[in-house]
Amino acid sequence: MMKNCQLGRVLNHGSEGIVHSGTWQGRLAAIKVLKNQYARRAEFEMKLVQNLDHRNIIKYYELEYEQGIAYLSMEMVTGGDLYAFIQAKYTSDSYWTIVDQILQDVARGMVYLHNHRIIQCDLKSHNILLREDTHQAVICDFGIAKCIDNDDQQQRRTNTTKGTIRWMAPELCTPPPEPASYLSDVWSYGCIILEVMSAREPWSEQFVDDSLLFRALQRKENACLFSQTCTNQSGPSHLRQLLIQCCSWSKTDRPQFSRILQQFDADEHTDDMSVDSPVFNESPSTPEETEHVPNVIRQSKIKHVSHGGRLTGEVYTSAGTANGRPIYQGVKGGLYYLTPSGSKIYLHK
């Protein structure tokens, strides 16, 4: 019998259960109600995160049972999720400043999780809650998270993988899939940056259907397509560089979250949050780059999108490229292209 929690109105319907507003020991709380086969998962979720204590990680209170139904009480965060924020605020004047803070919050939370040997496994904008008024980010939903008990556990492969396809790293899609890792969390974080910059779900301009995306992620020869998508994003240059690094096809090229935070700290002193816009190269430079790209992708043209007046600096409109990469113009007029690691290479006039 439930002793400490009381249910209120329904907040959300999920694949595994229903989330209600309510109270826990008289305190405002969110209560996830899970039936039957998902009750055991709730027990694992509670055990995994109940002792965590970080402002960017949702706080779990208690797990109770009644007639085979699990009631998981946790902190109530009332400012909505990042996905809804992006859709509502993408054209607002304060957008880039706020999302920069949100992305730093998420990185701090992920540093904390990884330091506690926890892989989130389902990092996406829907699982980033925002505190009302402050927009402080809170990572939630640890239903498929896992703890790395030893180094050997990361090496075992299985025939199944878990996650949400649009935020899943390539190594989780290639049969047999690798186990989720700290660096697959980094890819997912990169996909969140892509959402922030494009105001769309990751890779949705190239792959409308999830099954097409899943097949494309299985083929290493498609790496250039994903890299080009990252390079073509309009937005603050430091976010585009970070996107390119986090969504590196080879997981060993992705930065750890501690390094990501260091890059944000460095950018605070060098980046004025102005927005550069790429000169898009709409077709690959060499035949090799198109050889294994599905027809549905080659037929899709990338269009320049106006961002409601947030662009600053003029766009370099020459059709040229540098080593097959699109050319950008910074706010001070310098022309440059990005290396695969996200570094700027300036062109001499």
Query: Residue 76's pLDDT is what?
Result: 96
Residue with the bigger pLDDT between 328 and 254: it is 254
Q: Can you tell me whether residue 189 is helix, strand or coil?
A: helix
Pairing of strands 275-276, 235-236: antiparallel
> Taking the model in full, what pTM does it have?
0.77
With tokens 């009631």, the residue in question is 71
CA distance 315 to 297: 26
3-state secondary structure 140-172: CCCCCCEECCCHHHHHCCCCCCCCCHHHCCHHH
Higher pLDDT, 273 or 118: 118
Tokens of 174: 């290639």
Separation of alpha carbons 238 and 308, rounded Å:
20
| Predicted local confidence at residue 115, as pLDDT | 97
**Which of the residue ranges 39-53, 165-179, 185-199, 291-305 has the most confident prediction, judged by mean pLDDT?**
185-199
Measure the CA–CA gap between 263 and 324, rounded to whole angstroms: 26
- Of the candidates 140, 42, 57, 125, the one whose C-alpha atom is nearest the C-alpha of residue 90 is 125
b/e map 2-33, b = 16+ CB within 10 Å: beebeeeeeeeeeebbebbbbbbeeeebbbbb
Please compute, for residue 287, the number of CA atoms within 13 A of its CA located in the half-sphere on the CB side.
0
Ramachandran quadrant class, 199 (left: phi over 0; alpha: psi -120 to 50; beta: rest): left
The predicted model gives 294-311 an average pLDDT of 36
Task: Determine the Cα–Cα distance for residues 253 and 31; give it in Å rounded to an integer.
Answer: 39
Could you say which DSSP state residue 200 is in?
S
pLDDT at position 329, please? 57
Name the nearest CA neighbour of 9 among 83, 66, 78, 85: 78
In order of their start, the domains of the chain are 5-75 (3.30.200.20), 82-346 (1.10.510.10)
